[in-house]
Structure 1
Amino acid sequence: MDEITDSAGARLRWTKEPPSLLLEGPWTAAGVKADALIEAATRALEVLPAGPVRLEAAPGAELDTVGALVLEHLAHAAEDHGRALDFSALPPAWRATLSLIDRVAQRTPPPEPEPFSGFAYIGKVAIGLVHHYLDLVAFIGEVTAHLLPVLVRPWRIRWREVIVELEAAGVRAVPIVALLSFLIGVVLAYQAGVTLDRFGANVFIADMIGIVVLREMGPMITAIVVAGRTGSSYAAQLGSMRVTQEIDALRSLALPPVEMLVIPRFVALAIALPLLTTLANAAGLFGGMVVATGGFGLDWTVGLQRLGRLGHAHYWVGLVKTPVFATAIALIGCQAGMSVRGSALEVGRATTSSVVQSIFWVIVLDAIFSIVFRRLGL
Structure 2
Amino acid sequence: MTPNTSQAGRLDDRPDGLHVIGAWTITHYARLQAQIDAFKAQVGNGHDLDRSIDLSAIETLDTAGAALLIDLLGVERMAATMAQAPELSPARRALLDTMTQAMATPLTPKSHEISKPLAFLAQTGERIEDFWRQQRLLLGFIGLILSALVTNLLRPRRWRMTALVAQIQQTGFNAIGIVALLTFLIGAVVAFLGATVLQNFGATIYTVNLVAFSFLREFGVLLAAILLAGRTASAFTAQIGSMKANEEIDAIRVLGLNPVELLVLPRVLAILVTLPILTFVGMLSGILGGALVCLVALDISALQFFTILQEVAPHHFIVGLAKAPLFAFFIGAIGCLEGFKVSGSAQSVGEHTTSSVVQSIFMVILLDAMAALFFMEMGW
Common fold by TM > 0.5: yes
1:297 has 2:306 as partner: no
Residue 288 of structure 2 aligns with which residue?
A: 286
Q: What residue number does 2:340 align with?
A: 338
| 366-375 or 139-148, larger mean C-alpha shift | 366-375
1:238 aligns with 2:240: yes
Letter in 2 for 1:172: N
- Who is 1:257 aligned against? 259
Structure 1 residues 306-315 or 349-358, which shifts more? 306-315
Which one-letter code corresponds to 1:302 in the other structure? Q
**1:224-250: per-residue Cα shift (whole Å, max 9, x none)?**
000011011111111121111111111
**1:54 touches 1:89 (CA, 8 Å); kept in 2?**
no
Correspondences of 1:201-280 after superposition (within 5 Å) = 201-280=203-282
Amino acid at match of 1:250: I
* 2:202 match: secondary structure: coil
Q: 1:303 & 1:338 partners in 2: Cα distance?
A: 49
Letter in 1 for 2:208: A
| Structure 1 residues 307 and 276, CA gap change in structure 2 (3 angstroms) | same
Q: Tell whether the 8 Å contact from 1:54 to 1:87 is kept in structure 2 after alignment.
A: no
> Residue 41 of structure 1: CA displacement?
8.8
Residue deviations 1:258-290 (CA, integer Å, cap 9, x gap)? 000000000000000011111111110111000
CA displacement at 1:211 relative to structure 2: 1.1
Where does structure 2 lack aligned partners over 5 or more consecutive residues? 10-19, 36-53, 73-90, 96-107
Q: Which stretch has the larger CA shift, 259-268 or 352-361?
A: 352-361
Counterpart Cα distance in 2 of 1:226 and 1:113: 47
1-structure distance, mates of 2:340, 2:283: 33
What one-letter code is carried by the residue in structure 2 that aligns with 1:360? F
- Asked whether the equivalents of residues 219 and 321 of structure 1 are also in contact (C-alpha less than 8 Å), the reply is yes
Residues of 1 paired with 2:151 and 2:246: CA distance?
29
Counterpart for residue 327 of structure 1: 329
* Partners of 1:274 and 1:322 within 8 A in 2: yes
Q: Distance in 2 between matches of 1:374 and 1:129?
A: 28
Q: CA deviation at 1:4?
A: 4.5
Going from structure 1 to structure 2, the CA distance change for 1:267 and 1:123 (only over 3 Å counts) comes to: same
Say whether the 8 Å CA contact 2:179–2:224 is kept in structure 1: yes
Aligned counterpart for 1:149 among listed residues 148, 151, 159: 151
Per-residue CA distance 1:151-207 (angstroms, 9 max, x = gap): 233442211111111111111111211111001100000001112233332322212
Deviates more, 1:120-129 or 1:275-284: 120-129
Output the CA distance in 2 between the equivalents of 1:276 and 1:159.
21
**Does the Cα contact within 8 Å between 2:294 and 2:300 map onto a contact in 1?**
yes
Q: Distance in 1 between matches of 2:22 and 2:150?
A: 69
AA in 2 matched with 1:180: L
The offset of 1:39, in angstroms, is 4.9
* In structure 2, distance between residues paired with 1:251 and 1:162: 21
Work out whether residues 4 and 40 of structure 1, in 8 Å CA contact, stay in contact via their aligned partners in 2: no
For structure 1, the 5+ residue unaligned runs are 7-13, 22-36, 57-70, 91-108
1:318 and 2:315 matched = no
Q: 1: distance between equivalents of 2:201 and 2:27?
A: 99
Relative to structure 1, the CA distance from residue 3 to residue 268 in structure 2 (aligned partners, 3 Å threshold; closer, same or farther) is same
Q: Deviations over 1:91-143 (max 9, x none)?
A: xxxxxxxxxxxxxxxxxx9x979746434333322322222222111111111
| C-alpha contact (below 8 Å) 2:29/2:65 kept by paired residues | no
1:82 CA drift (Å):
6.6
Determine the structure 2 residue equivalent to 1:309: 311
SS at match of 1:321: helix
- 2:373 aligned counterpart, secondary structure: helix
1:252 is aligned with what amino acid?
V
Q: Tell me the residue number matched to 2:100.
A: none
**2:26 and 2:64 in contact (8 A); partners too:** no
CA distance in 2 between counterparts of 1:248 and 1:255 reads 10
The TM-score, its normalising length taken from structure 2, stands at 0.72
Cα distance, 1:215 vs structure 2: 0.8
**Is this contact kept in 2: 1:289–1:300, CA < 8 A?**
yes
Letter in structure 1 aligned against 2:185: L
* Residues paired across the two proteins, number: 321
Q: Give the 3 Å change call, closer, same or farther, for CA 202–131 of structure 1 in structure 2.
A: closer
Deviation at 1:343, TM superposition (A): 1.9
1:54 and 1:239 map into 2 onto residues whose CA distance is: 59
Could you tell me which amino acid in structure 2 is paired with residue 268 of structure 1?
A
Give, as a single letter, the amino acid of the residue that structure 2 aligns with 1:128: D
Distance 2:353 2:194 in 1: 37
RMSD: 4.0
Q: Distance in 1 between matches of 2:306 and 2:136?
A: 49
User: Which position in structure 2 is the counterpart of 1:363?
Assistant: 365
> Post-superposition shift, 1:353?
1.2
Structure 2 equivalent of residue 32 of structure 1: none
Worse-matched range after superposition: 266-275 or 311-320 = 311-320
Q: Is contact 2:184-2:286 (8 Å) kept?
A: yes
The one-letter amino acid of 2:253's match is R
**Contact 1:274–1:323 at 8 Å: present in 2 too?**
yes
8 Å CA contact 2:246–2:344 kept in 1: the answer is no
Q: TM-score scaled to structure 1, two decimals? A: 0.73
